[in-house]
Amino acid sequence: MKTKFVVLLVMCCNLSFAQTPKTISCKPEKATVYFTGAQIYYSENVTIPAGTTEFAFQGVSPFIDPSTIITGGKGEFTILDAQFNTRYPENMETKPDNPLLMKYKKAIKTKQDSSYELYYQLMLIQANKEALIIEKGFLQSNPIIRGTSKRDSLVLMKDAIEYYRQRQGNIDAEWVKLTREQDKLTAIKTQLETGIAEINELINKVNQGSPIDNAQPIYEILVTVSADVAIAASIQFNYYTASASWAPEYDLKATSTDNSLTLIQKAKLIQSTAVDWKDVKLTLSTGNPSLRNTRPTLNPLFVQLINYMREETLSKNSTSLNEITSTTTGGTFSNDELKDMDAKYSFDYSTVKTNMVQVEYAIALSYSIPSDGKPHTIAIQKKELNANFEYYCVPKLDKDAFLQARIVDWEDMNLVYGEAKIYFDNSYVGKSTINPTEMDDTLNIDLGRDKTILVERKLIKEKSKTGFVDGMKTVTRSFTITVRNTKANAINFVLLDQIPLSNQKDITVTAEETSGAKLDEQTGSLTWNMNLKSKETKTFKFTYTVKYPGSQQINPLI
């Protein structure tokens, strides 16, 4: 006889039951805003019980890139998981104490009570109508009215008929009134019954777990942690969203009295994250995390024969943005000094930080930026610039003189390309552009036109002539330029014009007269640098001759 052994394998496993996350309402603590996008930071103090706990942090943007969620914390616990989640505010479980079910049941009871009251009113109306029918039938069956009574006199019959007519009219009027009221109450009762049916449908949806009642979704980050013992700790997390940005802009304020130039760098910040930022520490960064950060790889280039004619194309070299670095700090003052100080701006609390790839402006003040998609201005830094002012004019193209600020040692100001509003002697004069990407030791900023510098360019007709020598045609042009400074102070002035150039051996150009101008042989430009005293007038002349074959034509000379 064989003995069969039954081996029972007992497998022990940990059964994890679904637990309700601990809900925490949070708000952004700080934000790093890029030209496109922002990194939003949160930090919340929590109590973590022993074991595994899931926290649901609500108050985050619905426009999160889930792959960018980063978590951390302070305390003796382990972060197991973090994920972005969307859910609806009402609990859709079929529990008797479900807030949504209780709300709907209360609404049904209210409508049912009203419906019952209308039912009783309709019963009363119907009873009154039945009484009118009985009364009307009694009148119509009266022997006097029907003329079947043998003892009725003529006078009695006439009175009875008159009463019948009067009462019959009253009965009909009361019938119409009761019918009208009955129809009105019936319509209301029908609406109540329809509403009750609709609410019952909503209750059925709740029981089936469907989101209803136009409930707006709640966006949250679920962080699962584990601790050996209950502890007090802090959980930190941050994420990237593309729904924010900032752009630089500048105010340039110049004065004619002392030739000072003040630059105020500002930022136009826009955020549409669907979460209002309240008392948030801001950092403005010139970086762009959406760009690919992998260095390019240069692959071999092979030359091959092709069977069609090659077209030559021209392209301009693009200049990449140079990241400039420096640090600005503020000061600390005593109470006695504070009372005499001017009001401060946010740029007084800004610190410029640099790293290997970007420049960051850390704003020490807290800002509240609503999620309205509108630009909000933040002052970043204020600089008194070491600038040289000079006026610049090209009368061949424009007779107005342009004021230009030439700034040296500008590399330490951490400027980025942006539009600048120009103010001269506290008056707005227009807009310009600050372009620090120019590879030059001096940053040139145009400050606008100045009508107090008068410039006139004229062709000297008696010296401008055309002739022929040995089959060659010669064209001579002569110009005079007059400059007058009507300002009350002396100015540095740069005057520019040009003579034509030739890149053909049959055409020659000779500068006959330049009045001391610096001639650039490569570009043909004539430059006069001068200092114009107040009310001073200067005149400059230049003449050139072009010689070319008489059988040919050239473009017009101006």
Specify which residues 43 forms β-bridges with. Answer: 236
- Residues 84, 40: one domain? yes
Residue 287's pLDDT is 80
What's the sign of the alpha-carbon dihedral 94, 95, 99, 105?
A: positive
Residue 84's pLDDT is 94
Q: What mean pLDDT, rounded, does the chain reach?
A: 79
Task: Return d(Cα 91, Cα 385) in angstroms, integer.
Answer: 62
> 295 by DSSP, 3-state: which?
coil
Residue 294 Cα to chain centre, angstroms: 29
Asked whether the predicted pLDDT for residue 394 surpasses 90, the reply is yes
Give residue 333's pLDDT band: very low, low, confident or very high (50, 70, 90): very low
- Residues 381, 278: one domain? yes
Task: Return d(Cα 301, Cα 306) in angstroms, integer.
Answer: 15
Instruction: Find tokens 């019963």 and name the residue.
Output: 123
Residue range(s) defining the domain that contains residue 83: 22-89+216-241
- Residues 130, 193: one domain? yes
> 286 by DSSP, 3-state: which?
coil
Whether 300 is in a domain gets the answer no
Name 118's Cβ contacts closer than 8 Å, sequence gap at least 6.
Answer: 185, 188, 189, 192
Give residue 101's pLDDT band: very low, low, confident or very high (50, 70, 90): confident
Residue 210's pLDDT is 58
The per-residue pLDDT for range 204-260, each reduced to its tens digit, is 777 766 555 556 788 999 999 999 999 999 999 999 999 999 999 999 888 867 767
The per-residue pLDDT for range 415-432, each reduced to its tens digit, is 888 888 988 888 888 888
Residue 267's pLDDT is 92
Give residue 145's pLDDT band: very low, low, confident or very high (50, 70, 90): low
Where are the alpha helices (H) located in 208-318, listed in sequence order? none
Give residue 120's pLDDT band: very low, low, confident or very high (50, 70, 90): confident
Question: CA angle 286-368-359, nearest 5°?
Answer: 15
Task: Return d(Cα 359, Cα 416) in angstroms, integer.
Answer: 10
Task: Return d(Cα 436, Cα 321) in angstroms, integer.
Answer: 8
DSSP string across 468-507: EETTEEEEEEEEEEEEEE-SSS-EEEEEEEE-----STT-
Give residue 96's pLDDT band: very low, low, confident or very high (50, 70, 90): low
Whether 409 is in a domain gets the answer yes
Looking at 420, 450, 480, the residue that finishes a domain is: 450
Which tops the pLDDT comparison, 355 or 34?
A: 34
Residue 226 Cα to chain centre, angstroms: 39
Whether 118 is in a domain gets the answer yes
Whether 297 is in a domain gets the answer no
Please answer whether residues 366 and 280 qualify as being in contact, where contact means their C-beta atoms are separated by less than 8 angstroms: yes
End-to-end, the C-alpha distance of the chain in Å comes to: 126
Task: Return d(Cα 303, Cα 377) in angstroms, integer.
Answer: 54
Whether 340 is in a domain gets the answer yes
- Residues 78, 154: one domain? no
Q: How many CA atoms lie within 13 A of 67 on its CB side?
A: 3
Residue 492's pLDDT is 92
Residue 505 phi, psi dihedral angles, 5° rounding = -70, -20
**The two structure tokens encoding residue 330:** 């503020």
CATH classification at residue 492? 2.60.40
Least confident residue range of 38-42, 111-115, 291-295: 291-295
Candidate ranges 433-437, 470-474, 518-522, 553-557; pick with highest mean pLDDT: 518-522
Name 225's Cβ contacts closer than 8 Å, sequence gap at least 6.
Answer: 48, 52, 53, 54, 55, 73, 77, 78, 79, 80, 235
User: Are β-strands 518-519 and 491-498 bridged in parallel, bridged antiparallel, or unpaired?
Assistant: unpaired
Instruction: Find tokens 């006959």 and name the residue.
Output: 512
- Residues 67, 32: one domain? yes
Give residue 344's pLDDT band: very low, low, confident or very high (50, 70, 90): very low
User: Are β-strands 465-469 and 218-227 bridged in parallel, bridged antiparallel, or unpaired?
Assistant: unpaired
- Residues 146, 185: one domain? yes
- Residues 125, 235: one domain? no
Residue 102's pLDDT is 78
Whether 12 is in a domain gets the answer no
Task: Return d(Cα 272, Cα 250) in angstroms, integer.
Answer: 24
Nearest alpha-carbon partner for 450 in 349, 532, 348: 532
Residue 213's pLDDT is 53
Strand order in the sheet with 38-48: 70-74, 231-241, 38-48, 30-33, 277-285, 359-369, 350-354
- Residues 268, 386: one domain? yes
- Give the residue-averaged pLDDT of 350-356: 49
Looking at 153, 186, 207, the residue that finishes a domain is: 207
Which tops the pLDDT comparison, 430 or 331?
A: 430
Whether 26 is in a domain gets the answer yes
- Give the residue-averaged pLDDT of 27-44: 95
Asked whether the predicted pLDDT for residue 182 surpasses 90, the reply is no
Nearest alpha-carbon partner for 481 in 534, 526, 533, 546: 526
Looking at 189, 207, 225, the residue that finishes a domain is: 207
Residue 158's pLDDT is 64
Q: Which helix (H) or strand (E) holds 123?
A: helix 99-141
Residue 300's pLDDT is 72
Give residue 104's pLDDT band: very low, low, confident or very high (50, 70, 90): confident
Q: How many domains does the chain fold into?
A: 4
Residue 479's pLDDT is 96
Question: CA angle 491-493-494, nearest 5°?
Answer: 165
Which tops the pLDDT comparison, 106 or 256?
A: 106
Residue 128's pLDDT is 84
Whether 372 is in a domain gets the answer yes
Asked whether the predicted pLDDT for residue 146 surpasses 60, the reply is no
- Residues 228, 367: one domain? no
Instruction: Find tokens 């593309």 and name the residue.
Output: 242
Residue 27's pLDDT is 95
- Residues 137, 251: one domain? no
Which tops the pLDDT comparison, 158 or 49?
A: 49
Give residue 350's pLDDT band: very low, low, confident or very high (50, 70, 90): low
- Residues 273, 382: one domain? yes
| Cα Rg of the chain, angstroms | 46
Task: Return d(Cα 68, Cα 85) in angstroms, integer.
Answer: 14
Asked whether the predicted pLDDT for residue 148 surpasses 80, the reply is no
Residue 295 phi, psi dihedral angles, 5° rounding = -65, 145
Residue 308's pLDDT is 42
Residue 53's pLDDT is 95
Residue 352's pLDDT is 53
Residue 326's pLDDT is 33
Please answer whether residues 379 and 284 qualify as being in contact, where contact means their C-beta atoms are separated by less than 8 angstroms: no
- Give the residue-averaged pLDDT of 409-418: 78
Which tops the pLDDT comparison, 437 or 345?
A: 437
Give residue 476's pLDDT band: very low, low, confident or very high (50, 70, 90): very high
Least confident residue range of 69-78, 193-202, 297-306: 297-306
Residue 121 phi, psi dihedral angles, 5° rounding = -65, -40
- Residues 43, 78: one domain? yes
DSSP string across 367-421: EEE-SSS--EEEEEEEEE--EEEEEEEETTTEEEEEEEEEEES-GGG---SEEEE
